[in-house]
Structure formats: structure tokens, C-alpha cells
Amino acid sequence: MDNQAQILKFLNADTAETRLDNLRGLIASEKAKPEERPQYANNHIHTIYSFSPYSPTAAVYFARQAGLTTAGIMDHDTIAGAKEFREAGRIAGVAVTCGMECRVDFSQTSLTGRRLNNPDQDGIAYMAVHSVPPQNYGILQEAFAPLRERRNKRNIKMVQNINSLMNPHGISLDFEKDVLPESQYAWGGTVTERHLLWALAVKLIEAGGAEEMAGLLAGLGVALNEGQLSRLSADNPYLRYDLLGILKAELIGKIYVPAFDECMTLNELVELAKRAEAILCYAYLGDVGDSVTGDKRSERYEDSYLDELFAVLKQEGVSGVTYMPSRNTSAQIARLRELCAAYGMIEISGEDINSPKQSFICEKLSEPGFSHLVQATWRLIERER
């Protein structure tokens, strides 16, 4: 079995037990191990437990195929995939680190109402809970269970907004039938905005070819450029993912319902991370020019008040900052690193993986100036051991 799509299907079997058994068979049948590239690391790999083409088992396998000797799981509002991820790492000989990502309410800080690192809502920031010891997964999973339930109530409202937009075009979504089956919610996973737009992408593709899809989007006020139009071809193996990226960048503002009661305050998350013996990090985005991931508009975020942000993070008890070297300019990274040093913040990195188009390898990590990020990954791994 050497076809990537077949292997992915094999490792995305219905249960974790089957997926891990399939991984054992694949590893045992190898004629040679993939070439290792220890100069790279990735601590921000999403799985099917939030949104990704990869089960935890598949994520470890394909990270290993790319040459990674380490891998880190980072799902939204859930750490349900961590146990499987850790066992897959043991089977495949890949050192792993486990964490989760969530949105946090900054309204009780001096940064209330600011545009932080969240393109969709002011005053709400993405935070990364890194290096969770295995015995403490349950602490986070239990704390976020009611928040995932509240999030689904908001998801249903956003589906209603989608239907208000799309019903005139003969398209509608059913949350129970079209969205939930695309998620791992029944097994402790999260339903994200990407799941909603993923289900919509299916309906748009079913509606016709590139011209029909472009016409429908134009009717919603979304004008596609030539590059976007070219990716709507039925011959594109990543059509659904490319369409999802377009919908997330262009349509989310039309259907988004603000998140409030499903978000912990910063103080609450700081206390939860302490109980879970985890490292809490702010996920730096920085002002965006051309979006590397293709799902963010050019926009200004934290750079104009970064000094104030660091002061608040330090005061509230946040331990570190996570960032993606491929996303930011050299000047942004230099300033970020200076502030990390000044405030005694840990630096952690990872490339956001939620599409099969993305590489598990961030080439910038091979540059001498980023070797500290690989070293930081090994410290996380040793800490969890």
C-alpha cells in the first residue's frame, strides 16, 4: 500500500484501536524507515478531533513520512485525540508533545475590545495550552465539555445564517445530518466554523462546476480572483479544501455569531493550565499581508500594541508565546523574540496543519536563527515524560 490517499483512509479508520493496529501493520511492513530530518519540528498539528484530514494516528504517520522525529497535537477546545496520538508516536518511534488550543475572553484585562489574534472577533484571543502531562488530559477534557456544548448552540445559529444566505440559491444545511457527521463530537471532539463551511463546500460542489460556484459566490458579494477561480476545477484534488479556504476568508463575516459564553476568561484559563500542569502560551499572529494559509484577509492585529500585550500576558500569568516562522516577517520575529527575552517568555513554534496541501515541514526552522525552537520542542517532550 503506497498510495497516500489509500494510506490516509487506512489510518482514518472508524476507531482509534483499528487505526493504531493499522499503523502497527504499516510500520512492520516497511522496507526502510523514512529519512529523518531532526532540524525540524512541528507542535501545532490539528486532527479530526477539531478539523483536519488526519486522525491522530495518521498525523503521526505522515509527520514521520515528512522526516519529523517529533510531532505535537493541537486541537481546538479538546485534547481527546492526545492518548491516541501518544500511542501512535510510541508505535512509530516519533517523540510527541500534546496540547490544545482555545479562544479566550480578554474583556477583564486592559485589552478589552482590541483586535488580538482572532480575525473574527475583537476581544477574543487564541491561546495554546502546551505540554500537558498524560495524567492530566482529563482535567482539560472535563473543563471544556460544557464549552463544546455551548459552542454547538452557536454553530446551529451560524448554520441558520448560512441557510438565510443560501436558501435563495436552493442550498441549505442541516446541522445534525450535514455537519455533525463530519466531526468527532460524539467522541469528545469539537465542531468548528470550518466544519460548517466544509459542509457548505460539499453543497456548492454538488451544485455544479467552477462557473456555477463562482456565480453563486458572486451572488453573495464574493468576487473571486483568477487564482481562486482556477482552483475551482473538478480536476483539482484539493478542490474542497481550496473552496473551504475561500469561504473562510470571504464568507465567515457574513455568517459569524460572536462567541462569548463558550470562552473562558484569561484568568480562568491561567488557573486551569496550572491545575493541568501545562504551559499556557499566547498564539502570536501579527499584522497580515499575504496570508500564508489563504484563509485570512490582509489586516492589522497585535503589532501596534505588542509591548502592552506582553505586559498584560506577564501580569496575568501566561508563560510563553507560540508563533509560526513562515507566517511572519524577519522584523516581526526579531521584535517578538526581544519581548520574549525581556519578559522571560518561553518561545514555542508550530505550523498550523489542517489541510492535506500543507507540508509538515517548516523550512525556516533549518535556518540557524530558529534552532532554539526545535530545542524547545525537545524540552516539552522531556517535560511530559
What number is the average pLDDT over the span 46-51?
97
- How many angstroms separate the CA atoms of 322 and 320, rounded? 7
- How many angstroms separate the CA atoms of 7 and 64, rounded? 13
- How many angstroms separate the CA atoms of 305 and 103, rounded? 20
- How many angstroms separate the CA atoms of 282 and 276, rounded? 17
Report residue 347: phi and psi, to 5°.
-105, 125
Cell readout for 292 is 500564508
- How many angstroms separate the CA atoms of 305 and 158, rounded? 32
Cβ atoms of 290 and 298 closer than 8 Å: yes
Does residue 292 or residue 106 have the better pLDDT?
106
Cell readout for 155 is 454553530
What number is the average pLDDT over the span 19-42?
96
Query: In angstroms, how far is CA 102 from the centroid of its own chain?
Result: 10
Residue 285 confidence (pLDDT) above 90: yes
Cell readout for 255 is 455568517
Cα end-to-end distance, the chain, whole Å: 33
Nearest alpha carbon to residue 377 among 33, 145, 79, 74: 74
What number is the average pLDDT over the span 151-174?
96
Buried b / exposed e along 345-384 (16+ C-beta atoms within 10 A): bbbbbbbbbbbeebebbbebbeeeebeebbebbeebbeeb
Residue 68 confidence (pLDDT) above 90: yes
User: Number of C-alpha atoms within 13 angstroms, CB side, residue 151?
Assistant: 23
Cα distances (Å, whole numbers) of residue 350 to 48, 84, 146, 378: 18, 20, 28, 13
pTM over 0.85: yes
Crossing angle of helices 306-316 and 266-275, rounded to 10°? 50
Nearest alpha carbon to residue 183 among 171, 173, 198, 172: 198
- How many angstroms separate the CA atoms of 80 and 202, rounded? 27
What number is the average pLDDT over the span 20-39?
96
Cα distances (Å, whole numbers) of residue 120 to 69, 180, 259, 337: 34, 22, 10, 26
What confidence tens digit (pLDDT) does each residue in 121-161 have? 999 999 999 999 999 999 999 999 999 999 999 999 999 99
What number is the average pLDDT over the span 32-48?
96
Buried b / exposed e along 61-78 (16+ C-beta atoms within 10 A): bbbbebebbbbbbbbbbb
Cβ atoms of 275 and 268 closer than 8 Å: no
Percent of the chain surpassing pLDDT 70: 97
Report residue 65: phi and psi, to 5°.
-60, -30
What one-character DSSP code corresponds to residue 299?
B
pLDDT of residue 295: 44
* Average pLDDT taken over every residue of the chain: 94
What confidence tens digit (pLDDT) does each residue in 330-344 have? 999 999 999 999 999
Nearest alpha carbon to residue 144 among 78, 48, 47, 50: 78
